[in-house]
Homo-oligomer: A and B are copies of this chain.
């Protein structure tokens, strides 16, 4: 997606440790107009899938997910990283290891929000090792819902998450695919 690649090139910053800092438009400051275009693009790429629910994980997945839900006119669920005091009903959970933070978070989605009749699209801001995505896939399976696919804003194609998803026969659409962040420069993967 050209607009997104332009934003990454012009506003992103490469930090040591293969970190791409995009907090001026994606995960701290948000560009809502770009998020809306991202939502439209996801809807186009999963146009034939009759999506009934969009799920993501708090916090940075919420903006692209909610725009996708707005375009589709379907509910969006964000998995909680902590079980809130009001989440006293039955919940699906999965453990998600964060390599960046070097710790495991359990994520939760209340059971009543996903049913076997749902066609679920998973959305997230980043795909690197794929741990958060795997956690959400586990929850969709536990709910016996149909997984339509995974929509990612920025994929780090040099890390194992993307291959894991496609090797499992899951439809993956990443709007920007990064081949490398070597020499402080963003190189996009060619199609």
Interface residues of A (CB under 8 A from B): 15, 19, 21, 23-25, 27-33, 35-36, 58-59, 62-63, 66-67, 69-70, 73-78, 80, 84-88, 100-101, 109-110, 113
Contact = CB atoms under 8 A, between A and B. Distances in A.
21 contacts: A15-B88, A19-B85, A19-B86, A23-B87, A24-B113, A28-B77, A28-B78, A28-B113, A29-B76, A29-B77, A29-B110, A30-B66, A30-B69, A30-B77, A32-B74, A36-B70, A59-B59, A59-B62, A62-B63, A62-B66, A85-B101
A13 to B, nearest CB: 8
A32 B113 contact: no
B80 A28 contact: yes
A21 B21 CA distance: 35
A94 to B, nearest CB: 16
B15 A86 contact: yes
Contact of A32 (B29, B76, B88): B76
Given A35-B70, A85-B100, A110 B30 contact: no
A83 B110 CA distance: 28
A59 B108 CA distance: 14
A42 B15 CA distance: 37
